């Protein structure tokens, strides 16, 4: 386990995965190594493989059932996150359908279809709707997310939560490899749910080890700008927020506010747990 931790500290995700595979090939009943392997697969985006490894782990070590089932729920939530980004599954929300929600849903399809004109117009519509409803709130620097925070529920559901809907956000110290990337939080939604959930700290399109581990951030254009237009960008690596005039890593954003209930429409549509 020490070598796995050292590899992760060095930012060598693929080497850590290969190390686990080599050990498990010789010692398939090493439950600690298999548990670490499962978490590394999740970080690497190999969700189906991780899910199958959990089933194998549960058959070998039934006492890991609670932890294994919890990770499987997060895998389901993460898969829904992936599906949503590809224009598939619908995210859970805590508000009625509005211009902001319509824009972000349509935008995922436009990005998938590489429809440049729609990407530009929908990114603009998403930001305009966010600014009109909550101009002083933080926003993700990723133009495909803008005023939304992605949340993985412990119930296996994927949520899109507006920053303006969050009254409390408290990060918990990571206790595992996976929690370095899917961080446990306590979150309170104004007029809505309250409880523990997990927030992905990295963007979905992350490719390199450093990006998947949240060690760096970069940007990829998702539209080709016409004259007098700005290109739209999606992030890779650690998520970045714009708070006022300053850029800040998502992991450093906290909130504990007394927000008036009239500031935002937050009819509770779902629970986080």
In a domain, 78, yes or no: no
- Dmax over Cα atoms in the chain, in whole Å? 61
| pLDDT band at 193; cut points 50, 70, 90 | confident
The boundaries of the domain holding residue 226 are 89-263
In 3D space, the residue among 100, 46, 113 whose CA is nearest the CA of residue 78 turns out to be 46
More confident residue, 88 or 262: 88
**pLDDT of res. 151:** 98
pLDDT cut 70: percent of the chain above it:
93
Are residues 252 and 123 both part of a single domain?
yes
pLDDT for residue 226 is more than 80: no
For 242, the token pair is 């714009």
Residue 161, φ and ψ in degrees, nearest 5:
-120, 130
In 3D space, the residue among 265, 103, 273, 119 whose CA is nearest the CA of residue 186 turns out to be 273
In a domain, 223, yes or no: yes
| pLDDT band at 230; cut points 50, 70, 90 | confident
Task: Give mean pLDDT, residues 198-209.
Answer: 98
Are residues 159 and 243 both part of a single domain?
yes
For 223, the token pair is 């539209």
In a domain, 34, yes or no: yes
Query: Which of these three, 40, 60, 80, is where a domain ends?
Result: 60
Whole-prediction pTM value?
0.92
| pLDDT band at 263; cut points 50, 70, 90 | very low
**Domain total for the chain?**
2
In a domain, 116, yes or no: yes
């Amino acid at each position: 386990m020490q070598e796995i931790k050292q590899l992760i500290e060095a930012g060598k995700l693929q080497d850590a995965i290969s190390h686990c595979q080599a050990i498990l090939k010789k010692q398939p009943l090493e439950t600690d190594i298999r548990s670490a392997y499962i978490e590394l697969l999740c970080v690497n985006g190999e969700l189906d493989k991780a899910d199958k490894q959990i089933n194998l782990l549960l058959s070998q070590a039934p006492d890991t059932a609670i932890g294994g089932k919890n990770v499987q729920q997060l895998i389901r939530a993460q898969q829904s996150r992936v599906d949503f980004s590809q224009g598939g599954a619908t995210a859970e929300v805590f508000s009625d359908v509005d211009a902001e929600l319509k824009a972000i849903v349509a935008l995922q399809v436009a990005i998938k279809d590489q429809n440049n004109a729609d990407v530009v117009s929908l990114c603009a519509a998403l930001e305009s709707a966010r600014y009109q409803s909550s101009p002083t709130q933080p926003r993700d620097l990723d133009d495909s997310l803008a005023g939304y925070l992605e949340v993985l529920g412990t119930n296996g559901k994927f949520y899109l939560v507006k920053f303006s809907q969050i009254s409390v956000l408290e990060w918990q110290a990571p206790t595992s490899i996976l929690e370095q990337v899917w961080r446990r939080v306590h979150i309170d939604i104004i007029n809505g749910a309250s409880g523990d959930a997990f927030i992905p700290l990295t963007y979905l399109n992350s490719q390199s080890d450093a990006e998947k581990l949240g060690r760096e951030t970069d940007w990829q254009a998702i539209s080709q700008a016409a004259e007098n237009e700005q290109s739209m960008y999606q992030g890779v690596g650690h998520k970045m927020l714009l708070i006022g005039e300053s850029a800040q890593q998502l992991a450093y954003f906290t909130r504990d506010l007394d927000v008036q209930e009239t500031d935002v429409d937050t009819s509770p549509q779902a629970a986080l747990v």
